[in-house]
Amino acid sequence: MAHGSGKDKLTGKAKEALGKMTGNRRKEAEGKAEQAKARAKEALDETEKHVPGKSGLKDPLTPDDK
């Protein structure tokens, strides 16, 4: 897990559980969204591993400094 995906998973699960316990559907949805974000980060990391010669790619969501 890279790019903080483990943190996103954990906070997402906590928010989802809190939302379920309190009946706060918005908080529950935020938790599910954070977990989806973590899965996307993991998929990106896995994809980067399989691209020949591209092991040090920058985060595609940040602007290029050039």
With beta carbons less than 8 A apart as the criterion, state whether 14 and 31 touch: yes
Q: How many residues does the chain have?
A: 66
pLDDT digits (tens, 9 = 90+) for 30-62: 999 999 999 999 999 888 888 766 655 566 666
Residues of the chain by 3-state class (helix, strand, coil), percent to 5: 65, 0, 35
The pTM of this model reads 0.68
